Chains A and B, each alone.
Chain A
Amino acid sequence: MSIVLLATVIVAAGLVVLSGLWVAVALFVAVRRLDSRVSANPADAPNDNAG
Chain B
Amino acid sequence: MVLSTVLVVGYVAVLVVVAVRARTAREYVDFSIARRALPLALIFASLCATYVGPGFSIGFVGRGFKSGFLFLLIGAAYSIQNILVGLLIAPKLRELKDCYTLGDAVGQKYGSRCQILAGIISVLLCTLFSAVMISAGGVVLNDIFGLPRWLSVAVVALVTTSYTTFGGLRASVITDAYHFTLFALLLPVILLCELLFDFEGGAAGFYQEAMAATAWGFQTTPPLEIVGFVTAFLLGETLIPPYANLALASRTTVVSRNGFILSGLFSALWFTVMIALGIVARTVVPADTGEDYVLLTLVKMTMPHAAYALLLVSLVSIVVSSLDSLLNAGAVVFTQDILRRFTARQDSAALIAGRYSTVAIAALAAGMAAFVPSVIKGLMVCYNIWAPAILPALILGLWTRKPRPLAGILSMTVGTVVAILLQLETLFKTDVGAILPALICSLAAYAVGHYVHGLFERGRKR
Contacts and interface: CB of A to CB of B under 8 A. Distances in A.
Interface of A: 1-3, 5-6, 8-10, 12-17, 19-27, 30-31, 34-35, 38, 43-47, 49-51
B181 A20 contact: yes
B23 A21 contact: no
A51 B167 contact: yes
Contacts of A50: 19-20, 23-24, 163, 166-167
B49 to A, nearest CB: 9
B177 interface: yes
Interface of B: 16, 18-24, 26, 39, 41-42, 44-45, 48, 162-163, 166-167, 174, 177-178, 180-181, 183-185, 187-189, 191-192, 195, 202-204, 206-208, 210, 266, 268-270, 272-273, 276
A47 to B, nearest CB: 5
A40 B402 CA distance: 47
Contacts, number: 126
Of all A-B residue pairs in the complex, the 9 with the closest CB atoms, nearest first, are A20-B184, A26-B41, A2-B207, A13-B188, A51-B20, A12-B272, A27-B177, A6-B203, A2-B203
Interface of B is mostly: helix
B41 A23 contact: yes
Given A49-B24, A50-B20, A26 B207 contact: no
A10 B257 CA distance: 28
A31 to B, nearest CB: 5
Contacts of B22: 31, 34
Contacts of A14: 188
18 contacts: A5-B207, A10-B195, A12-B268, A12-B272, A13-B188, A13-B189, A13-B191, A16-B187, A19-B44, A20-B184, A23-B41, A23-B177, A27-B18, A27-B42, A50-B19, A50-B163, A51-B162, A51-B163
A39 to B, nearest CB: 13
A15 B37 CA distance: 27
Contacts of B45: 23, 26-27
Given A23-B41, A23-B180, A51-B16, 13 more contacts: A2-B204, A2-B207, A6-B202, A13-B191, A20-B183, A21-B181, A26-B42, A27-B177, A30-B39, A47-B24, A50-B23, A51-B163, A51-B167
Given A2-B204, A16-B270, A9 B24 contact: no
